[in-house]
Amino acid sequence: MAYWLFKSEPGHWSWDDHKNTGTAGHPVKRSRNHQANNNMKVMARGDKGFFYHSVNEKRVVGIVEVVKEHYPDETDPSGKFGVVDVIPICDVPDPVTLKDIRGEPACEDMVLVNNSRLSIQPVKETEWKTVCRMGGVDPASL
C-alpha cells in the first residue's frame, strides 16, 4: 500500500463536498501537472491519502482511499491527463496544519514541506503514521 496527499481548494471542492459523494468514488483533483499525473498513474486500489485543504487553510482535514485507478480525464481536451477516484474514509478530528507538519522532525523531508505547490504527492509511511497521530487518527485502524 502507498500513501498520498491530495490538495484541494476548499472554495472549489471541499472535504464536505467530497464526503457528500459517499462511496461512489470521485476525483479529488483534476490536475494539468505532469508530475501529479505521474503520481496518479502509479496509484493502486486501496492506497490511502490525506485530503488537504489548500489556499488559506493549509491543513489535512480527511482521509481517503483510492477505489478506481488512473483513467482518462474527460475534461482534458488534450487527452494527456487522467484522474483517480477516491472515497472518504474518515475526518481528521484535529486538522493538521502545514505549520504543524513543518514543525515535526519526522516530516522534515515530506514533499508538502519542500514542494507545497504540487497538488498530488507521495507520502512516506513514517510521515503517514506521524500526521495521522498528530490529527487524532490511529493509522492502524485504517
How does pLDDT run across 102-136, given as a tens digit for each residue? Answer: 999 999 999 999 987 899 999 999 999 999 999 99
Residue-wise pLDDT for 60-74, tens only, equals: 999 999 999 999 999
**Residue found under cell 514533499:** 111
pLDDT value of position 98 = 97
5 within 8 A of 59, measured Cβ to Cβ: no
- Which domains does the chain carry? 3-135 (3.10.590.10)
Residue range 75-92: mean pLDDT, rounded: 95
pLDDT value of position 29 = 73
**Amino acid letter, 12:** H
Q: Sorting pLDDT into bands at 50, 70 and 90, what band is 27?
A: confident
Percent of the chain with pLDDT over 70: 100
- For residue 24, the 8-state DSSP code is S
pTM: 0.96
Q: Sorting pLDDT into bands at 50, 70 and 90, what band is 137?
A: very high
- Cell triple for residue 116? 507545497
Count of C-beta atoms within a 10 Å radius of residue 136: 12
